[in-house]
Amino acid sequence: MDTLYIIINILIMAVFIGLLIYMQRKHVSFSKRVFTGLGLGIVYGLILQFIYGATSDVVVTSSDWFNIVGDGYVKFLQMLVVPLVFISIVSAFTRLKMTKNIGKISVLIIGILLGTTAISSAIGIGATALFDLDANQIDSGSVEQSRGLELEDKLTGVKDLTLPQQIVELLPANPFLDFTGARPTSTIAVVIFAAFIGIAFLGVKRKQPEQAEMFEKIIESIRTIVMRIVTLVIRLTPFGVLAIMTRTAATSDLKSIANLGVFVIASYVALIVMFLVHLILLSVFGLNPVTYVKKIIPVLLFAFTSRSSAGTLPINIDTQTKKLGVPDAIANFAGSFGLSIGQNGCAGIYPTMLAVMIAPTVGINPFSPSFIATLIVVVAISSFGVAGVGGGATFAALIVLSTMNLPVALAGLLISVEPLIDMGRTALNVSGSMTAGVVTSKATKEIDTTIYNDRSIELEH
């Protein structure tokens, strides 16, 4: 009988997928299709849990079949990370008009990313204090304990490294190994390698312009192909969101989520406050924050539903250039650097809140000036190398907790609410990288304010 129920569940999922295909053929907007997949997935998942139970064989087996679509979509996003980051950085150099500004541009972007991450860390401390969060208050079940052990295993490779050694680990000793994504810091290593190629290109351009022109055409051709692949994958987003949300809603422990509701609320309060900081920063540089918000909503929606900063990169760059008036090179630098440096949500707020919550369990006062100052510095430095696809926040938390000599296993207590928080974290990460691009282009006087202020410009999906 269970087999019959499983088949029925799969057929219902197939009907929903068919509905999304029909909407696509009728040219329903991308945002509406994503929202439809999101809504259908949540409702269908909750219905399955209500009928069968979150841990029933029917739900578990049905979810396995749904994962073909959901996990398949995530795999495709992961597939894009390295080629997308590499080609975006290199093409940023080949498209750079004024090479004398490259140092200033890079310093400004990285400085803004790190500075906003330090601010987000301070906001995370404030949110934890405001809601009086403490890891001792969270019940630990078998799933949470299992997740804690898993995190301790992940820490094995980095726990014996000092902070300077961890910084050295970011460098690409073997770039071809990093192209395989073999290390947690592979993304930043690829960024560094791509930057070396870009700088070499600029040198060749001065001395051998014909060779540089040929290389530029090759890079542009590769970039066109990669961006076409990105387009194909992005079109799968409504289907991936449908399957992922169905599985999440069907298998989530609603009781645990309810128990951790305060942490979820505190996290989103911190995320919203940090987003307001982005808007304040834009205002300080004389840019209308309302215009910014209206133009980036589709990008934040994609980031929120896909939970992938890397998958959002092409829309991120397109929005910066076509809707916000940011030059190509700066948009590529900001978008690509933002995948692995200074992610305000995953590398800033999240590990900070964990550290403050866990500190009392080992007798440390998390609100002492020395602890706070140390934590903010560690969070900012550790934000280098955080990958732009799912798991980056976990890696950031491991580095921060181990550097602060705090037990990492307790981070597993939050496993049941991870997907809910990760949506908001990813959206904030993307906003942070876009803010860095806009502010940098404004500071270097290269922004096209006519495009930025033109509210009639819409991004084509």
Question: Would you say residue 282 has pLDDT above 60?
Answer: yes
Question: What are the strands, taking DSSP E only, across 100-195?
Answer: none
**Which of 167-171, 199-203, 390-394, 451-455 shows the lowest mean pLDDT across its residues?**
390-394
* Domain annotation for the chain: domains and CATH numbers: 2-453 (1.10.3860.10)
Q: What is the pLDDT of residue 183?
A: 74
In which band, very low, low, confident or very high, does the pLDDT at 15 lie, cut at 50, 70 and 90? very high
Q: What's the pLDDT score for residue 144? A: 47
For 16, the token pair is 């929903």
Q: What confidence score (pLDDT) does residue 81 get? A: 78
> Tell me, what amino acid is at 124?
G
Cα(370)–Cα(351) distance, integer angstroms: 17
Express each pLDDT in 39-86 by its tens digit.
Answer: 999 899 999 999 988 888 899 899 999 999 988 988 888 788 788 888
Among 40-44, 276-280, 451-455, the range of highest mean pLDDT: 276-280
Q: Spell out the residues 6+ positions from residue 384 whose beta carbon is closer than 8 angstroms to its own.
A: 167, 170, 185, 188, 340, 341, 342
Please state, in angstroms and rounded to a whole number, the distance separating the CA atoms of residues 430 and 331: 12
List of residues 6+ apart from 81 with CB closer than 8 A: 181, 187, 310, 339, 387, 388, 389
Q: How far is CA 207 from CA 200, 201, 210, 350, in A?
A: 11, 10, 9, 47
Q: How far is the C-alpha of 331 from the C-alpha of 206, rounded, in Å? A: 24
Kindly report the length of the chain.
461
pLDDT for res 160: 59
Of residues 422 and 101, which shows the higher confidence score?
422
pLDDT: is 399 or 371 the higher one?
A: 371
Check whether 154 has a pLDDT greater than 80: no
CB 395 within 8 A of CB 347: no
pLDDT category, 98, cuts 50, 70, 90? low
What CA dihedral angle connects 396, 401, 404 and 407, to 10 degrees?
-170
> What pLDDT does residue 390 have?
53
Contacting residues for 174 by C-beta, under 8 A, at least 6 apart:
none
Of 158-162, 356-360, 439-443, the range with the lowest mean pLDDT is 158-162
Percent of the chain with pLDDT over 70: 87
pLDDT of residue 291: 93
Average pLDDT value for the chain? 84
Say whether pLDDT at 412 is over 50.
Answer: yes
Distance CA 369, CA 367 (A): 6
Whether the per-residue pLDDT at 91 is higher than 60: the answer is yes
- pLDDT at position 275 over 90: yes
Rounded Cα–Cα distance for residues 185 and 386 (Å): 7
CB 331 within 8 A of CB 325: no
Sorted by sequence, the CB contacts under 8 Å of residue 47 that are 6+ apart come out as none
Looking at residue 416, its pLDDT comes to 65
Mean pLDDT of 3-15: 92
Q: Residue range 102-127: average pLDDT? A: 91
Stretch among 134-143, 204-213, 266-275, 364-373 having the lowest mean pLDDT: 134-143
Percentage of the chain with pLDDT > 90? 33
In the three-class reduction of DSSP (H, G, I as helix; E, B as strand; rest coil), residue 325 is classed as coil
Is pLDDT above 70 for 151? no
Question: Cβ of 206: how many Cβ atoms within 10 Å?
Answer: 9
pLDDT of residue 142: 47
Q: What is the pLDDT of residue 148?
A: 47
Longest dimension (CA), the chain: 74
pLDDT digits (tens, 9 = 90+) for 115-149: 999 999 999 999 999 988 887 666 555 454 455 45
pLDDT at position 363 over 50: yes
The larger pLDDT score, comparing residue 419 to residue 316, is at 316
Q: Which residues contact 234 (CB under 8 A, 6 or more apart)?
A: 302, 311, 314, 315, 461
Could you give the CA distance from residue 55 to residue 44 in angstroms, rounded to a whole number?
A: 16
Q: Residue 228 pLDDT > 70, yes or no?
A: yes
Residue 401 is predicted with a pLDDT of 81
Question: Quick check: 189 pLDDT over 90?
Answer: no
What does each C-alpha distance from 124 to 6, 129, 343 come to in angstroms? Answer: 43, 9, 13
pLDDT level of residue 93 (50, 70, 90 thresholds): confident
Question: Is 321's pLDDT higher than 80?
Answer: yes
pLDDT of residue 349: 92
